[in-house]
Amino acid sequence: MTPNTIIRGDCLKTMNESKPGSIDLVFADPPYNIGYVYDKYRDDRTDDDYVAWCTEWMRAIHRLLTPKGAFWLAIGDEFAAELCVAAKRDVGFHLRNWVIWHYSFGQHMKRKFSRAHTHLLYFTRSDKDFTFRDLRLRFPSARHTEYQDLRANKDGRLPDDVWNDVPRLCGTFKEREGYHGCQLPEALLTRIILACSNPDEIVLDPFVGSGTTAVVAKKLGRRYIGIDMSANYVKRVEQRVKAARQEINLPEVDPAHPPAMHREILYQIYRETNVTRDNLLANRVAMDVVAGSLSHRTGTEYTVAQVETLLRDGTLPKLANDRAFVARNHVTDEGKKYVRTVQRMLPRKRKSRTVADTPGSA
Ligand SMILES: C[S@@+](CC[C@H](N)C(=O)[O-])C[C@H]1O[C@@H](n2cnc3c(N)ncnc32)[C@H](O)[C@@H]1O
C-alpha cells in the first residue's frame, strides 16, 4: 500500500499483502450486516459468517499497526458486542473507550425508540504505550463556564465518552457529497485523527466509502490510505481528496484570515463548550482554554483577542443552552484573581491503574 492513494480492492487481501507495523492509525466503518445497499458489496451475510469475516480483517489491522498504533471501529447495535469481544479476546486489542456517538434526527421508529447513536470502539495495540494527544481535545468544561470552580484545569477538559456535539450529516448539509449514504462528518474524524496520530503519520481506512477519513487526514497533514471495493466510490474519493488541501500545521498563517478548517475547529470547540457567544466572550478563563485548544489543534498560536474576533465575525452553530453568564469566581471586571487550588486526596493505590488512566481535575 502506497501512502496518499485510494485503492480499489478487497481490504482483507490488500492488508494481508502489506508490510506489518507500517500504519499508525486505522479507522474502520464496515458494512453493518443490516442489508444496506452499496454499489458492490452485498450486506447480508449470516451472523456467524459476518463475525468471522470481521475478525479476520481486524486481525489484518492488528498486524499492520505500529506498536503505538490505534484502531477505531464504528459499528451498529447488532454486532457491537460481538465485535468488541472478538477484537479483544480473539485478535488481542486493548479496549480504551467504548464511545457512543449520539446524534439528533436518527431514523424515526414507530414500534421502538428511534435509534440515534453509533458505537465507536477505540482500541490500541499496547495497553500502555500509544499515541493520545489530549491537549488537542480539550475544551472549557462546566467548571469553567457554569460553576466557575477555582479548581478548573487551565488547559480545559477532555470530552466524555458520549459524544453529542458532532451532528450527523443530514441530506441538506453543504458537506454532503450525495453519492454515498453512509458519509461520516469531517468533525468526527477530525477529533479521532487529531487525538490518535501525529503529523505525517499514516492513517488507513479499509472501508473508505465516500472518503471522509482520507480527506480529513490530508487536511490535518497526515498521509492517508483508503480502500474500497467499488471503482465508482474510489473514483469519487480521488476527486474529493484532490480538492482538499493541508490546512493545519502550516508554517505561516494569518490569524485574521485563517484556513477554513481553523474556523471549523473553533466552531467545534464552541459546540463542545455549549455556552452562547456572549457568555463565552465574557468569560476570560474559558476564553484562555479556547485559545489554547485552538492553538494545539491547528498548530498555529492564537491569542484570546484573535479568537474573540473570529467568534464575533463568524456564523456560529446554534446551541441549546442560552442562559446568561454571571461572573462569580473567575477573573471578573472587578479584577478578582483566578486562583487554582488542588483538592487534597488520600494516597492512591497505584496497582490497578496505568498512568494514562489517572484522573485529574478539569
Ligand atoms: C459504511 S461504508 C463506509 C462509509 C465511510 N465511513 C464514509 O464516511 O463514507 C462501507 C464501505 O465498505 C465498502 N466495502 C465493503 N466490503 C469491502 C471490502 N471487502 N473491501 C473494501 N471495501 C469494502 C463498501 O463499498 C462501502 O463503501
Per-residue pLDDT at 68: 97
Q: Ligand 1 pocket, 145 CB below 6 A?
A: no
Q: What distance in angstroms lies between residue 119's CA and the mean position of ligand 1's atoms?
A: 17
Per-residue pLDDT at 340: 55
Length of the chain: 362
Per-residue pLDDT at 342: 60
Taking only the tens of pLDDT, the chain with its 362 residues reads 999 999 999 999 999 999 999 999 999 999 999 888 888 888 889 999 999 999 999 999 999 999 999 999 999 999 999 999 999 999 999 999 999 999 877 777 889 988 899 999 999 999 999 999 999 999 999 999 988 888 889 999 999 999 999 988 877 788 888 788 889 999 999 999 999 999 999 999 999 999 999 999 999 999 999 999 999 999 999 999 999 999 999 999 999 999 999 999 999 999 999 999 999 999 999 999 999 999 999 999 999 999 999 999 988 888 866 666 666 655 545 555 555 556 666 776 665 555 455 555 55
Q: Ligand 1 pocket, 10 CB below 6 A?
A: yes
Atom of ligand 1 nearest to the CA of 32: 1
Q: What distance in angstroms lies between residue 182's CA and the mean position of ligand 1's atoms?
A: 9
Per-residue pLDDT at 324: 67
Q: Ligand 1 pocket, 6 CB below 6 A?
A: no
Cell, residue 167: 451532528
Nearest CA to ligand 1 atom 19: 10
Interval 190-246: pLDDT, tens: 999 999 999 999 999 999 999 999 999 999 999 999 999 999 999 999 999 999 999
Provide the 3-class DSSP secondary structure of residue 123. Answer: strand
DSSP assignment, residue 324?
Answer: P
Q: Ligand 1 pocket, 53 CB below 6 A?
A: no
Q: What distance in angstroms lies between residue 248's CA and the mean position of ligand 1's atoms?
A: 27
Atom of ligand 1 nearest to the CA of 205: 6
Per-residue pLDDT at 332: 47
Q: What distance in angstroms lies between residue 180's CA and the mean position of ligand 1's atoms?
A: 10
**DSSP codes joined into one string, 17-84:** TSPTT-EEEEEE----SS--B-SS-B----HHHHHHHHHHHHHHHHHHEEEEEEEEEEE-HHHHHHHH
Q: What distance in angstroms lies between residue 156's CA and the mean position of ligand 1's atoms?
A: 36
Per-residue pLDDT at 206: 98
Phi/psi region, residue 340 (left: phi>0; alpha: psi -120 to 50; beta: rest), is beta
Are 340 and 360 in contact by the 8 Å Cβ rule? The answer is no
pTM, whole model, 2 decimals?
A: 0.89
Q: What distance in angstroms lies between residue 153's CA and the mean position of ligand 1's atoms?
A: 40
Are 93 and 125 in contact by the 8 Å Cβ rule? The answer is yes
Per-residue pLDDT at 139: 97
Q: Ligand 1 pocket, 226 CB below 6 A?
A: no
Domain ranges across the chain: 5-243
Q: Ligand 1 pocket, 180 CB below 6 A?
A: yes
Nearest CA to ligand 1 atom 26: 209
- CB burial of residue 21 (10 Å; 0-12, 13-18, 19+): exposed
Residue 102 backbone phi and psi in degrees, to 5? -100, 130
Phi/psi region, residue 228 (left: phi>0; alpha: psi -120 to 50; beta: rest), is beta
Identify which of 207, 216, 227, 240 to mutate to test ligand 1's pocket (most ligand atoms within 8 A of the CB). 207
Atom of ligand 1 nearest to the CA of 36: 1
Q: Ligand 1 pocket, 42 CB below 6 A?
A: no
Residue 344 backbone phi and psi in degrees, to 5? -80, 140
CATH architecture, domain 5-243: 3-Layer(aba) Sandwich (3.40)
DSSP assignment, residue 356?
Answer: G
Provide the 3-class DSSP secondary structure of residue 323. Answer: coil
Q: How far apart are CA 135 and CA 296, in angstroms?
A: 6
Identify which of 228, 237, 241 to mutate to test ligand 1's pocket (most ligand atoms within 8 A of the CB). 228
Per-residue pLDDT at 282: 93
Which segments of the chain does DSSP mark as H helices, in order? 11-16, 47-64, 77-85, 142-145, 186-196, 212-219, 231-243, 260-273, 277-281, 284-298, 304-313
Query: CA nearest 184: which of 118, 229, 114, 116?
Result: 118
Our CA angle for 89, 90, 95, nearest 5°, is 45
Q: Ligand 1 pocket, 40 CB below 6 A?
A: yes
